[in-house]
């Protein structure tokens, strides 16, 4: 059951990203076509594209983390014995969790500071644009919590393969 909930969470996150990217693409495409066909453009299209890209970046970072798409340097942990790898991975997880939690806190603070400012074209409170940061880092915490057990087991799998091979 927990695996089903996790798959639904990942699918929902990916669906939101696809919808946001599709919407951004339609708006930008419509704006370009309108500019060339009629000589007019939508005054708010660039702003929507920019803010959509910000939200895409933060909402997609958790999925990128899950897929191992962020930069990683594994030379140090690969050089350690199995027990050392597991300990180092535990320390890495603790530091990354702490960093993500700190960024949620900083993001909420920054979001609240921007609550009086409005965007130029849409007149949307900038608070909702800056909400992407704490939302994205909160999602990264959830994704990291879901993949943490497998991340800790990787050291065990490598040593088992070395013993077998």
Residue whose C-alpha is closest to residue 99's, from 69, 140, 63, 64: 140
Helix orientation angle between 2-38 and 132-164, rounded to the nearest 10 degrees = 130
Phi, psi angles (nearest 5°) of residue 87: -65, -45
What pLDDT, on a 0 to 100 scale, did the predictor assign at position 163? 38
Q: 41: buried, middle or exposed (CB in 10 Å: 19+, 13-18, 0-12)? A: middle
- For residue 52, pLDDT over 60 is answered with yes
**Average pLDDT of 35-64?**
95
**pLDDT score recorded for residue 72:** 79
Answer whether residue 161 shows pLDDT above 70.
no
pLDDT at 66 over 70: yes
Domain range enclosing 85? 2-164
Average pLDDT over all residues of the chain: 90
CA 90 to chain centre: 21
- pTM here is 0.86
pLDDT tier at 68, thresholds 50, 70, 90:
confident
The top-scoring range by mean pLDDT among 64-78, 79-93, 149-163 is 79-93
- Cα separations (Å) of 33 from 11, 25, 82, 122, 140? 32, 12, 58, 21, 37
Total tally of structural domains belonging to the chain: 1
Confidence of residue 115 (pLDDT cuts 50, 70, 90): confident
How many of the other CB atoms lie within 10 Å of CB of 146?
Answer: 17
Helix axes 45-67, 132-164, angle to 10 degrees: 30
Q: Is the dihedral of CA 10, 66, 147, 111 positive or negative?
A: negative
């Amino acid at each position: 059951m927990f695996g089903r909930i996790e798959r639904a969470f990942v699918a929902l996150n990916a669906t939101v990203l696809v919808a946001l990217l599709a919407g951004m693409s339609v708006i930008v495409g419509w704006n370009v076509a309108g500019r060339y066909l009629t000589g007019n453009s939508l005054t708010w299209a660039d702003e929507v594209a920019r803010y959509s890209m910000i939200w895409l970046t933060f909402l997609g970072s958790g999925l990128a983390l899950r897929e191992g798409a962020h930069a990683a340097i594994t030379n140090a942990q690969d050089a350690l014995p199995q027990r050392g790898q597991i300990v180092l991975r535990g320390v890495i997880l603790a530091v990354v969790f702490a960093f993500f939690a700190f960024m949620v806190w900083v993001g909420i603070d920054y979001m609240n500071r921007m609550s009086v400012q409005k965007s130029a074209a849409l007149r949307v409170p900038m608070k909702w644009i800056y909400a992407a940061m704490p939302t994205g880092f909160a999602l990264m915490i959830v994704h990291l919590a879901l993949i943490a057990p497998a991340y800790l087991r990787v050291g065990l799998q490598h040593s088992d393969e070395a013993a077998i091979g």
